[in-house]
């Protein structure tokens, strides 16, 4: 199983455990780019095994189903066997699970798990990604989006406006990525996870207020509230009809995304 995938999965759970919160299977799928949550059963089982071999609680205990706020039935017997308990009767399931969750929330030794999954792995943050990206790379991403979206070059009045506008937005884009990360805020798609180094650090930045509505006027944008990272698919669907630009919430409703 891919070490990077396993580390990414572990990091998602570790971050949620640090907040003492559960996480739904669907949420993990969106964050890690897995469309079918059932496909997570095997890697979550492996995480449980790795945890217990290291003397840690099974971090997969915090992964629950949305309908009953509890793990899938396979969790109980599998983790109980790994811990040497053997068959666990259903009457003991909830007590066993809640004890495991309490240990997960109190655990401070998750670095051991990450080092076991991938000895060269270091937990990353959006700021780490930005430190490896140059402003030139960000400008190239912006320019490619302008040309594709508007069919414009840098000559001519309107083209010149867009060029000047985006000259100032390099820093906005960088700040938006630092604040929101490089995963789509609607569906969770991450370019690096799918395309490797080719997609590293890339995400499209959506303006809540369409640029086409500004009529060439210089406008200040707040990267935290006005700029949203989106994958290409979600970005296209938002802008597909120029007379009916969707909001983030409307697109989430179409995808039945609940966050």
Q: If DSSP codes are grouped into helix, strand and coil, which group holds residue 152?
A: coil
Whether residue 237 sits in one domain with residue 147: yes
Give me the chain's average pLDDT, please. 77
Whether residue 63 sits in one domain with residue 132: no
Whether residue 167 sits in one domain with residue 55: no
Q: Are 259 and 252 in contact (CB under 8 A)?
A: yes
pTM over 0.75: no
Q: If DSSP codes are grouped into helix, strand and coil, which group holds residue 190?
A: strand
CA distance 138 to 162: 16
For the segment 146-162, the average pLDDT, to the nearest whole number, is: 42
For the segment 140-157, the average pLDDT, to the nearest whole number, is: 48
CA nearest neighbour of 73 among 94, 99, 52, 95 = 94
Q: Are 32 and 9 in contact (CB under 8 A)?
A: yes
H or E element: which one contains 204?
Answer: strand 204-207
Q: pLDDT > 90: what percent of the chain? A: 24
Confidence (pLDDT) at 1: 58
Whether residue 133 sits in one domain with residue 104: no
For the chain, what is the domain count? 2
Whether residue 104 sits in one domain with residue 138: no
Range of the domain at 27: 3-117
Q: Are 66 and 26 in contact (CB under 8 A)?
A: yes
């Amino acid at each position: 199983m891919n070490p990077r995938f396993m580390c990414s999965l572990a990091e998602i759970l570790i971050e949620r455990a640090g907040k003492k919160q559960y996480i739904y299977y669907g949420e993990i799928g969106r964050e890690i780019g897995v469309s079918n949550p059932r496909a997570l059963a095997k890697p979550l089982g492996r995480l449980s095994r790795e945890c217990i071999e290291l003397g840690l609680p099974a971090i997969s205990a915090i992964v629950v189903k949305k309908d009953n706020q509890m793990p899938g039935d396979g969790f109980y017997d599998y983790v109980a066997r790994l811990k040497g308990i053997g068959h666990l009767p259903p009457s003991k399931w909830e007590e066993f699970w809640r004890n495991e969750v309490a240990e997960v929330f109190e655990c401070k030794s998750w670095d051991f798990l990450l080092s076991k999954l991938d000895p060269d792995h270091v937990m990353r943050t959006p700021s780490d990604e930005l430190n490896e990206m140059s402003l030139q790379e960000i400008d190239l991403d912006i320019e490619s989006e302008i040309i594709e979206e508007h069919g414009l070059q840098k000559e001519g009045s309107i083209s010149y406006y867009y060029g000047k506008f985006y000259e100032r937005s390099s820093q906005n884009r960088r700040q938006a990525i630092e604040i929101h990360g490089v995963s789509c805020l609607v569906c969770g798609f991450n370019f690096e996870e799918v395309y490797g180094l080719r997609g590293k650090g890339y995400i499209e930045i959506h303006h809540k207020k369409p640029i086409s509505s500004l009529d060439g006027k210089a406008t200040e944008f707040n990267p935290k509230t006005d700029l949203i990272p989106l994958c290409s698919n979600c970005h296209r669907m938002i802008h597909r009809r120029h007379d009916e630009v969707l909001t983030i919430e409307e697109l989430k409703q179409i995808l039945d995304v609940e966050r």
